[in-house]
C-alpha cells in the first residue's frame, strides 16, 4: 500500500536555466486533475521539472 506523501511548497528548481514560474506552470498543467483537492508533493514537483526539461530538449 502506497503511503500518501505530504504537500510541500514549491522547491527551487535544480535545473539552472529554468525559472520557478516555468516549473510551476508546467506542474499545474501536468497535475490539473489532482489540484486543488490534493496539493503537490515533492515527488510531483520533481517529476514536473524533469518532464519540462525533457520537453524543452525534444523541442530543440
Tell me the per-residue pLDDT of 2-60, one tens digit each, with 9 for 90 and over.
567 788 999 999 999 999 999 999 999 999 998 888 899 999 999 999 999 999 999 98
The Cα 48–Cα 34 span in angstroms is: 13
**CA-based nearest residue to 15, from 54, 58, 42, 59:** 54
CA distance linking residue 41 with residue 1, whole number of Å: 17
Distance (Å, whole) CA 37 – CA 24: 17
Residue with cell 497535475: 31
The per-residue pLDDT for 2 is 55
Outline where the chain has alpha helix (H). 20-30, 42-59
Amino acid at each position: 500500500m502506497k503511503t500518501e506523501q505530504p504537500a510541500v511548497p514549491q522547491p527551487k528548481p535544480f535545473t539552472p536555466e529554468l525559472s520557478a514560474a516555468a516549473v510551476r506552470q508546467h506542474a499545474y498543467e501536468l497535475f490539473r486533475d489532482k489540484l486543488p483537492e490534493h496539493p503537490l508533493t515533492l515527488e510531483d514537483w520533481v517529476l514536473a521539472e524533469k518532464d519540462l526539461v525533457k520537453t524543452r530538449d525534444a523541442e530543440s
